[in-house]
Amino acid sequence: MIAASAIDYRELARRRLPHFLFEYIDGGSYAQVTLRRNVEDLEHVELRQRVLSGVDAVDLTTSLFGQPMALPVGLAPIGLGGLAARRGERQAVRAAERAGIPFTLSTVSACALEEVAEAAAKPFWFQLYMIRDRAFMRDLLARARAIGCSALIFTVDMPLPGSRYRDQRSGLAGAPGFRGGLRRTLQGAVKPGWAWDVGIHGRPHSLGNLLPVLGRNSGIEDYFAWMRDNFDPSVTWKDLDFIRSEWTGPLIIKGILDAEDAHEAAALGADGLVVSNHGGRQLDGVPSTARALPAIADAVGDRLTVLADGGIRSGLDVVRMLALGAKGVLLGRTWIYAMAARGEAGIDHVLKLIDAEMRVAMTLCGAASIADIGRDNLVTL
């Protein structure tokens, strides 16, 4: 199969990955209503075509949080992302650097901060959750500062894991011990390409950033148990003062869907926020990010930098999100599908596709630069 678009990589990833890993990457929570809405609502945003507008050159460059970028796009944090390809986060950070965009490392990545830093030539972003053990959080932030991470994305919409039925059915969650391990091993064995690349040569299969607290108990089977036991549902906005006191660089709050919460993020002194529903993986039935974004951008867009994720599958979708009020977007499933299929070369290809698709969309909308994109480029909201 030839990948002509970013979404083509979904099928290639499905063919290559063990069932449990594809279901984890591809799935949402409950009945996956919000997961579907993220894609469908964005697809229904109509761009306003303007012809003979004299746009003979398009400039896709921008700057976010003091960092120049070749595209208004970043790679979102994905837990266990490093298992989609051999030491995957190392591959992803290299691809992001080649494209001139930021990569964000998840707290629950396969590769540790220091390992990814060894593969990177430039600073990358780090993502953190609110964890019960504040001393461990302080240590993670110190490690991120020590290797020069240039921004912190703090995720606030995961006080506890959502109910993801597909992970239960696949054997990733809810099947601990020997039975669960055997089931995953058998699923990996029928995918020889992945088994050779990741199963054998991609070891260790652990949560690299959590090794100091989990030690040997830091494999896939410990992922959900650790989240359930260590995420802190009692956290309030006041608790985020701890983060602001420990992190002096750009702070981006991820998981905002309501304008009142956006005001709270601005009052905290955050530099940015991400309009996000965790890719439809947490509370099902909430608004898509395309629906939530305009009101949030109107409420706080003059006080902090508004980013968005969720449902972005093409350069057209990037332009739609920018027209709805975002200053930049984060790609999630789009990059992990591509890496699962073809490694960092897949990410290279997807980002080139997005670049080309954005140029077509902007030319036909009469926008010569990222700053030119706005509500005037939409037919309806």
At 253, which helix (H) or strand (E)? strand 251-256
Instruction: Give per-residue pLDDT as tens, 93-143.
Output: 999 999 999 999 999 999 999 999 999 999 999 999 988 888 889 999 999
Residue 18 lies in a domain: yes
As a whole number of angstroms, the distance between CA 296 and CA 277 comes to: 13
CATH code at position 105: 3.20.20.70
Domain count, the chain: 1
Residue 156 lies in a domain: yes
Residue 380 lies in a domain: no
As a whole number of angstroms, the distance between CA 180 and CA 219 comes to: 12
Predicted pLDDT of residue 289: 98
As a whole number of angstroms, the distance between CA 356 and CA 315 comes to: 7
Catalytic site residue 278? yes
Answer yes or no: is 216 a known binding residue: no
As a whole number of angstroms, the distance between CA 14 and CA 336 comes to: 11
Instruction: Give per-residue pLDDT as tens, 268-280.
Output: 999 999 999 999 9
Answer yes or no: is 193 a known binding residue: no
Residue 381 lies in a domain: no
Show the domain range for 21. 8-375
Note whether 116 and 124 are within 8 A (CB): yes
Answer yes or no: is 281 a known binding residue: yes
Instruction: Give per-residue pLDDT as tens, 153-178.
Output: 999 998 888 889 998 898 887 666 55
How large is the average pLDDT for residues 254-264?
A: 98
Residue 192 lies in a domain: yes
Residue 1 lies in a domain: no
How large is the average pLDDT for residues 307-312?
A: 98
- pLDDT for residue 179 is more than 90: no
Residue 125 lies in a domain: yes
pTM of the model: 0.95
Beta-bridge mates of residue 305? 272
Q: How many residues does the chain have?
A: 381
Residue 247 lies in a domain: yes
As a whole number of angstroms, the distance between CA 188 and CA 177 comes to: 17
Residue in 44, 201, 263, 278 annotated catalytic: 278
Render the burial of 282-319: b for 16+ CB within 10 Å, e for the rest.
Answer: bebebbbbbbbbbbbbebbbeebbbbbbbbbbbbbbbb
Answer yes or no: is 127 a known binding residue: yes
At 146, which helix (H) or strand (E)? helix 134-146
Answer yes or no: is 171 a known binding residue: no
